[in-house]
Structure 1
Amino acid sequence: MQLSVLQKYGEARLPRYTSYPPSPEFSPAVGFEIYGEWLSQMPCDTPSSLYLHVPFCRSMCWYCGCHTTITAKDQPVVEYLDLLRREIDMVATQVRQPLRVDHVHFGGGTPTIVAPMDFVALTDLLRDRFGFSAAAEIAVEIDPRTLSIEMAGALGGAGVGRASLGVQSFDPIVQKAVNRIQSEETTIEAVDRLRQSGVESINFDLIYGLPYQTVHSCIDTASAAAAMRPDRFAVFGYAHVPSFKKHQRMIEEAALPGSAARMEQALAIAETLVDAGYVQIGLDHFALPEDELARSQAAGKLRRNFQGYTTDNCETLIGFGASAIGRTQQGYVQNQVGLGFYAGSISRGELATARGYRLTAEDRLRAEIIQRLMCDFEVDVPAVCARHGFDAAELIIGNGKLLELTEDGVVDLAEGVIRVRRDYRFLVRAAAAAFDGYLYRSGRSHSQAA
C-alpha cells in the first residue's frame, strides 16, 4: 500500500454519506409549513421508519459528536417527553391515514435516561398513532453504565428487539482521556440484563483514533468485545471537530493518532473481528454470518442511513425531537437543534422543522451512485443513469476526482463500472466524494476519510 495514497486521501475531510446531500446543505428555505405539506401528501401505505431523539446524558464523553445536554435531574427529561408526545400527535394529524411503520430507532444522547414506565408509555403512544407492521423492529441506543434492571425489563416489555451499546474502548488510559470510564464487567452485566429481558439482538459501537489509543489496545478491546458475542459491531473513526463541539477541546490533540496510525487501528480491529467469526459489512460494520445485515449484504440489498449500514429499506423517515432529521419523498427536514427553540415551536403548535432540503432529480441519481459505492464498493454508473434518465458521460467524462482515483490505483474503471480496489476499501468515501456535487464548493468540516 502506498503511503503517498494514504496521505493524499486518508487525511481529507469527507462526509460519512449517511445521507445525500449531506446535512450541511440543508437550509431554512424548507421550514415547518413545507414539511406539513409533505406529510399531508404522503401516501398512507408508505413503509416508514421513525427516529426519536432524546438529547440528554448524565455525563459528557469528550469525543461525542451528538446533540446532547448534561443533566443530573429528571425534570428536564420529563418536560422534554411532554414536548415529544405533542410533536408525535401533530405529525400523526398531518398524515391522511396512519403510516405503516417498519422500524423505530431511539437515539441520543442516552434514550434510556427516560424512566422505565415513561419509555413504555411512549412506545404505546407510537403504536396508537401509527400503524406498526407485524415485524416492526424497535431499536434503542444504550449507555451500559446507567442501564438498570428495571429499564432493561421495560425495554423488553415495550417490544425492543435491538439494543446498541456504546463500548468505544476498554483501555483505561483512553477512557480517562475521553471522560468515559466503563469496565468490561459493566458491559457484560448490561448485555446479560438485556438478553434476560428478551432484547435478543445486541450491537456494539467501537471507536478508533482516540487519544492515547494504540493498535494493541484496539485489538484488546475488539477481542474482549467479540467474546461477549454481540450480533453486530459499528466501528467508527473519531472525528475531532472542536470548532463545532466545544467539549472536544478537553481532548489533548497531541495524543491523537495521525492518519497512518488511524488506518492501522481500523485494520487491526477489522482483522480481529473477522478472525472472531464476524463478516465485514461495507466500510465500518461487522455482523455474525447468520445476522440479517450479513444476509442483506450478500443479496446486494444493503443500505446506509443515519444509523450507518442497515437493512431498513424505508424511503420515509419521520424524525421526532430536537435536532432529529427526517426524510420524505420530496426531501430532507431537520428539527430545531436547541432545546429552547424546539420547545418554542412545539408550544406554538408548530412542527419543529428548522431547515431542510428539496431533492432534485440529479440529487437522487448521485445519491444512488454514492449509496451503492458505500454499500457494495462498486457501481454500474451507466445502469444507474439509465434508471434516472441521465447520460453517464456527464458524470464520468471530465470527472477530475474520479480520474485521480483511477490513476492512483484506488479504483478501477471499465465501461462505466467503478470498483474500489480491495486494498483501498477504507478510502471508499473518497470514491463516493467524486460524485458529490456539493462537497468541493462547501467550507464545512467533515470527518477524516481514514
Structure 2
Amino acid sequence: MQTTPLSFTRESLGLNADLIRKYNQPAPRYTSYPTALKFKTVEDRSSRSALLADLEDAQGPLSLYVHVPYCRSLCWFCGCAKIISTDTSLADKYLDYLEMEVRRYAALVREGRKVVQLHFGGGSPNFLSPKQIKRLSAILHGSFEFDEAAEVSVELDPRTLSEAQVAAFKDLGINRASIGVQDVNRKVQEAIHRIQPTETNAKTISWLREAGINSINVDLIYGLPHQTEESFKATLQEVLSYDADRLAVFSYAHVPWSKPAQKILERSPLPDADSKIEILIQTVEKLTGCGYAHVGMDHFAKWEDPLVKAQQAKTLQRNFQGYSLHANVDICAFGMSAISQSQNAFRQNHKDLDTYYRMLDEGNIPLEKGYLLTRDDQIRREVIMRLMCDLELDFEERGLANGIDFAGYFDAELESLKAMEGDGLVCFTDAGITVTPLGRLLIRNVASRFDAYMGSAPKGFSKAI
C-alpha cells in the first residue's frame, strides 16, 4: 500500500502528446454502469413497479440525493439539468412536490434503514433561501432516519451565497461543501458568463470554516475559452492558497448539440486538444507536487483525506455524485432529472419540470427512464468500479467475488489491454493488472475495455481529455 505522496512529472509519466492524442477518444465517465444512455423509457405501470421492487426488497444503509434545479444566471459551459430564474418563490412550489416525492419514496423503504450520506446538487442549492433550506431539512428528516455520523454535503455557487444560507445549511447538518470556481481569470470568466472575483471565493471559504464546515472541495474546469498553460498555472496557484481538502479539475465537455448554450463559447477561442493536454499535464505535476494525491478521473485530495485513505484500503466507490466513501448503499434521488440507484436497477426522474409535477399529481413516482441490470451488467459494473477506484484488478479476487473464471470470462477484453500495456497505460502482473500513473489520466479509456456496450452505444460521450 502506498503511504507517502506520489509526485508525478512529465518525465516520470513517460508522457508525450502523441500518445495522449491516440487515446483522447470519447469514453464514459462511469458514474454508472451501464451508463445513463442505456436507460429505457418507462412505458407503463408494470415496468415502473419492476424498477421500484428492487428498492422495496433491499436492506442496508441509504444515500440520499436532492436535485435543486434553479440557478440565478446561465453559465454558458454548463451541462447540468437546470432552470434559470431570479424568482426564489418558485422553489416553494418545487419543495411542495419534492415533499410529496420524498414521502412516496420513503413509504417503499423498509424500516430501520439509516441515511449515511446526503448530497445536494443542482443547479444551485443556495438558490434556496434560509427559510426554504430549513423546510427542506424538515422534509428529509421527517421521512428518513439519519446516522449520527452521516456525511452531508452541498454544492455551492459563491456568487449568490450569503452567510445566512451557510448558517442554514450548517443547521441542516452540512459537514462537507463543494464550491464552483472553474477559473479565476477575468477574461475566461467573461467568456463563460460567470464573473466571480477572488474576494467572493475567499469570503465563501471563510464563512464555511467559521461555521465549522471544514471539509471543502473546489471545482475547476480546463478547456474553457481563452485558457492557456500560463493562465491556468496562475489559477492553480491562487486556488492552492485556498487550502481546500479536495480539488476536482474537470475537462470541459463541449457538446453543443445537446447543450445549445455552449454554442456561445465558440465566439471565443477554445484551447485545442494539444493545449488541453499540456494544461492537464501541468495540473497533475503541480498538484501532486504540492501534497495532493491524484485519486484518478479528475480528482485530487490531500494525502490525509478520507478519500485517499479509502482508495488505499480499496473501499472507495463511484456513483453519480463522483467518488464516494460509502459502499453497499442504495441511492434515493429526489427532484427533476434525479437518478436513483439500487443493487439491480437505475431509476431516473423526468427532466421536464411540468411532467415531473404532473406525475406526482397523478399519484406516481415521477420516473421517466430506468434500467434493470443483467448478471453480466452486475459483473462488469463491479469490475469497472474497482478499476476506476483501486486503479488495479486482482483477477482471482474478482473471479471469486463474481463466481467466474475471470481470465476466461474477459479473454477478449484482456487481449485488448495488451496494446495499452505496450503504450504504458497498464501493467500485467502475476495477480492481474495495475494502472500506471500515465494510465490514471486515461482511466476512462482503460475502463471502457470492459464495457459491453461501447460498440453499440449512441454517440454522446465526451473525449477523455
Q: TM-score of the superposition, structure 2-length normalised? A: 0.92
8 Å Cα contact 1:304/1:375 also seen in 2: yes
Q: 1:372 to 1:145 in 2, by over 3 A?
A: same
1:404 corresponding residue in structure 2: 419
Say whether 1:442 aligns with 2:450. Answer: no
2:147 corresponding residue in structure 1: 133
Counterpart of 1:63 in structure 2: which amino acid? Answer: F
2:434 corresponding residue in structure 1: 419
Give 1:295 shift: 1.6
2:325 corresponding residue in structure 1: 311
Say whether 1:15 aligns with 2:28. Answer: yes
| Counterpart Cα distance in 1 of 2:137 and 2:349 | 21
Counterpart of 1:74 in structure 2: which amino acid? Answer: T
Alignment equivalent of 1:146, drawn from 160, 176, 187: 160
Alignment equivalent of 1:51, drawn from 65, 81, 104: 65
| Counterpart Cα distance in 2 of 1:141 and 1:72 | 18
Alignment equivalent of 1:34, drawn from 50, 55, 61: 50
8 Å Cα contact 1:24/1:444 also seen in 2: no
| Counterpart Cα distance in 2 of 1:395 and 1:204 | 40
Q: 1:98 to 1:321 in 2, by over 3 A?
A: farther
**1:61-95 superposed Cα distances (whole Å, 9 cap, x missing partner):** 11111000101212322111111111001111122
In the comparison of the two structures, how many residue pairs are matched? 447
Secondary structure of 2:77's counterpart equals coil
| Counterpart Cα distance in 2 of 1:270 and 1:409 | 17
Q: 1:429 to 1:173 in 2, by over 3 A?
A: same
1:283 corresponding residue in structure 2: 297
2:11 corresponding residue in structure 1: none
Cα RMSD (Å): 1.7
| Counterpart Cα distance in 1 of 2:193 and 2:340 | 31
1:124 corresponding residue in structure 2: 138
8 Å Cα contact 1:54/1:111 also seen in 2: yes
Q: 1:32 to 1:98 in 2, by over 3 A?
A: farther
8 Å Cα contact 1:396/1:402 also seen in 2: no
Structure 1 unaligned regions, length at least 5? none
Secondary structure of 2:40's counterpart equals coil
Give 1:394 shift: 3.7
8 Å Cα contact 2:296/2:443 also seen in 1: no
8 Å Cα contact 2:124/2:156 also seen in 1: yes
Secondary structure of 2:232's counterpart equals helix
Q: 1:314 to 1:196 in 2, by over 3 A?
A: farther
Say whether 1:25 aligns with 2:38. Answer: yes
2:9 corresponding residue in structure 1: none
Counterpart of 1:13 in structure 2: which amino acid? Answer: P
2:373 corresponding residue in structure 1: 359
Is the deviation greater in 297-306 or in 204-213? 297-306
Secondary structure of 1:354's counterpart equals strand
**1:261-297 superposed Cα distances (whole Å, 9 cap, x missing partner):** 2121122222222233222222321222222112212
Secondary structure of 1:72's counterpart equals coil
8 Å Cα contact 1:14/1:429 also seen in 2: yes
Counterpart of 1:133 in structure 2: which amino acid? Answer: D
Is the deviation greater in 119-128 or in 343-352? 119-128
Structure 2 unaligned regions, length at least 5? 1-14
8 Å Cα contact 1:83/1:343 also seen in 2: yes
Give 1:396 shift: 3.7
Say whether 1:5 aligns with 2:37. Answer: no
| Counterpart Cα distance in 1 of 2:277 and 2:390 | 20
Secondary structure of 2:41's counterpart equals coil
| Counterpart Cα distance in 2 of 1:92 and 1:396 | 39
